[in-house]
Amino acid sequence: MHDCSKSAHTLHTSYQLTKGEVVCEPPNNKLDRFCGTLYWQDKKYTLTNQNMLLRGCVLRNTEACYGLVIFAGPDTKLMQNSGRTKFKRTSIDRLMNTLVLWIFGFLVCMGVILAVGNAVWEREVGSLFQSYLPWDPPVDNFLFSAFLSFWSYVIILNTVVPISLYVSVEVIRLGHSYFINWDQQMFCSQCNTAAEARTTTLNEELGQVEYIFSDKTGTLTQNIMSFNKCSINGQTYGEVTDPLAPQPKRLDFTPFNPLADPDFCFYDDTLLESVKVGDSHTHQFFRLLSLCHTVMSEEKSEGELVYKAQSPDEGALVTAARNFGFVFRSRTPGTITTTEMGRPVTYSLLAILDFNNIRKRMSVIVRNPEGRIRLYCKGADTVLLERLHPCNQELMNITSDHLNEYAADGLRTLALAYRDLSEDEWESWSESHRCADKATNCREDRLAAAYEEIEQDMMLLGATAIEDKLQEGVPETIAVLSLANIKIWVLTGDKQGYSCKMLTDDMTEVFNITGHTVQSVRQELRRARERMIELSRTRVGVKDEGMEGCGEACFMGNGFRGQEEGHGTGGGGEKQLQCPLPPAPPPPPLPPPPPTNLLENISGEFALVINGHSLAHALEADMEMEFLSTACACKAVICCRVTPLQKAQVVELIKKHKKAVTLAIGDGANDVSMIKSAHIGVGISGQEGIQAVLASDYSFAQFRFLQRLLLVHGRWSYLRMCRFLCYFFYKNFAFTMVHFWFGFFCGFSAQTVYDQYFITLYNIVYTSLPVLAMGIFDQDVPDLRSLEYPKLYEPGQLNLLFNKREFFICITQGIYTSVVLFFVPCAILSDATQSNGVPLADYQTFAVTTATALVIVVSVQIALDTGFWTVINHVFVWGSLGSYFTIMLALHSQTLFRIFPNQFHFVVPRARYCNQSCG
């Protein structure tokens, strides 16, 4: 506990603990913030998230602390976060609901038709039999008879409504989820983590993904940071270009610094020499890295330091400072102790200006042993460089070039700066900061204003470049997913870079959108589209037919729907179109939007890179279609320096306009909003905690497993579900429509064709297990072929295997089957007689014949539909068929008839026939 710990040690009795009062914000679900004030012993203490102990927290800078329960029960952070979660439903679910409503309407229509038939029959024909077949009370006229007939037929024909469909669907989805959990090829042995399907409702949606939104750090990369390069006072370090030493030699820091980390790797000895000779800028650079952080240190033995950092970046930077002679040793709430070039130094920690995703920087204010007060700041170059003193312009230009070079190498960059403060400046700002810190209302806004006030007119020190290597198989996975017509957008908080392998040397053009105003962003997007059209026409040699006559409409229209986003990149060997803009007059009114597929069909591979502040303008209501119309023509789209909110906004934008299935994948808390916004959320269990995993629908340890999740499990799940649904509707219509045709031959009396036991067992025993086996185990090609031929994934994206058209084909086939099953036996048995002249046909014989034909037909049909046979499929299909004949023989036996003559009456005709023959 921070501020409280300064006074908590004076507490000796529980009575003293009851004398305080806490005023705080109302209960909420935000785990990363807490705003409150403790009034105790006539003093006022600020309570923030630093004073909040969440489950799993470990005390680092104090041996003990006092705890106070602020909220309990449903008001706790845990319960507030366990509230209602947005329920995700697949497109097949929504279609199924629509089709069930249609089927119910069809059921009502059949009931009406048969009821009308009953009314006509009773009036025209039934009245002739009133003398010996009177109506049962309370029926007294043909209209009331028709009314009762309607409801009777609704009950008889209700089997056309797939009541058991939803239960069967959930059983199949559960099976698919277990297959994902059990897949050994998605198991990461390094971290002992298996893939996990955290939901059972989205499996088939995995086979229809068109857009993937991915974080970079920890998702595409390993999130294991290593200090790679740096720029200090305009001089870059870390490049090793000696042609005589193709294998650079790793520096040995031990003779220079006994406290160095033996696992630290660096190869440029010029930086080490600069430290040794005492260069002031170099010393100041590493001093900043050793002080400006929130890392905790544990010293297990003399010189054996273990750093615990909230983020791998901070750990890498503090480790770099440690090896170059500025060793962070320990911290207390008010001090930071370091060892600088072998000399222990303790700084007074006056203030910490925390990092957050909006500020994108952090600062500390310290007082050195000589009494000098200095602010040290590190953060994203986009926010830090604009807060420098004007005298830094030349150095800023050089450092910016270095930053772009580092980003082009795929490195994570930060800019470093400092500011000397006088005692009066510190006292004045400290008072305003203290007031903001203890404010009860709008504390965060007032603190942000205080931070902004002091973080100005800083002096630039340099920049750092940290390497975060790609995970194994990331480039191959991106390439295969691209072949499957899946668009991948990389949304990252990093500076633009090539490390995700989204941008390649064979790309036709890379467009950087860097405008700071709505007008400039609009013009850059339009110019990018113009350039795409121009290069496309050059490549094909003639104008594309789809582009003919498009003119400016292709360039400025707002009707395009695009997709792809990612994190960006700077220079390197890519051909890029920078869009410097002179002051431009207001644009002309937008023409009517052209067809949405014009730009999507252009020739060439283009990439779009857009940074956070430009994206903020691009996501405005009147600009979003401009952005989409450009992005839809690009093979790669990369959004860099974006906030978590912007990530979610981009996903929502694609969901809104493209109507396509989206998948978001990330590993950190800043990816949670994106994961929840997408149709499917995937969490990577990595270095940044489990927040992303807890918010996700599926989780695993490596990005490369996404390829198998989509192309194998997703495609199979979609294929199986579609085949299951098609067969399910077919068998129900084939079974039920026989009753409908029979109504025209039984005076519309609501008489069933089949005996009661067959009606009961048809969906429970005879047809339930075979269709479940097909829905769980079926596959068209093996998993290796699915990965080898990514184009097999496209039918799911186009929704070809089950849609309204396929539904009507299935029910048409079912109706046709019912026609054959009813009218063929009816025609054959109508005039058939035995050898002794006794009629062969009766109701029971016709019913058994029709039922037997139905079971055989639907069993043969599922055998034809099954593409992959397992032992379970054979047992269920042929076992169900065999069970029908076994049960039929048992139910029609004379033994059961003698015992229960009223329940088992289908044996009566057979007994009569036998007696007549014997007689």
Cα dihedral 593, 598, 600, 604 in deg (nearest 10): -130
For 477, the token pair is 């996975």
CB of 381 closer than 8 Å to CB of 413: yes
- Report residue 484 as tokens: 């499957």
Q: Is the peptide bond before 138 cis (omega within 30 degrees of 0)?
A: yes
Q: In what order do the strands lie in the sheet with 43-47?
A: 21-24, 36-40, 43-47
Which structure tokens are listed for 478? 């991106």
Q: 10 Å Cβ neighbour count for 75?
A: 12
Task: Read off the DSSP letter of residue 709.
Answer: I
Pairwise CA distance, residues 545 & 530, whole Å = 17
Any idea of the CA torsion for 452, 457, 462, 463, to the nearest 10 degrees?
20
Residues within the annotated binding site for ATP? Answer: 215-217, 314, 355, 378, 412, 492-494, 641, 647, 670-671
Q: Which residues have a Cβ under 8 Å from the Cβ of 794 and sit 6 or more positions away?
A: 484, 485
Q: Which of 95, 235, 147 is nearest to 801 (CA)?
A: 95
- Maximum CA extent, the chain: 128
Helix (H) or strand (E) holding 235, with range, is: strand 235-237
DSSP string, 42-80: TEEEEE-GGG---TT----S-S---------GGGSHHHH
Torsion angle in degrees (nearest 10) through CA of 251, 254, 259, 260:
10
Q: Which residues pair with 785 in a beta bridge?
A: none
Question: 639 and 567 in contact (C-beta within 8 Å)?
Answer: yes
Residues that constitute the known binding site for Mg(2+): 215, 217, 667, 671
Q: How far apart are CA 662 and CA 209, in angstroms?
A: 6
Alpha-carbon distance of 456 to 702, in angstroms, equals: 41
- The answer to whether residues 260 and 300 touch, using CB atoms and an 8 Å cutoff, is no
What backbone phi and psi angles, to 5 degrees, belong to 426? -65, -45
Supply the DSSP symbol for 135. P
Closest to 594 in 3D by CA, of 546, 544, 554, 634: 554
> Which sign, positive or negative, has the C-alpha torsion 497, 499, 505, 511?
negative
Question: Catalytic site residue 215?
Answer: yes
Asked if residues 37 and 46 have their Cβ atoms less than 8 Å apart, the reply is yes
Query: Could you say which of 183, 215, 697, 778 is catalytic?
Result: 215
Name the token pair of 577. 């179109």
Residue 754's SS3 state is: coil
Q: Which amino acid is at 451?
A: Y
The C-alpha atoms of residue 797 and residue 793 are separated, in whole angstroms, by 7
Active site positions, annotated: 215
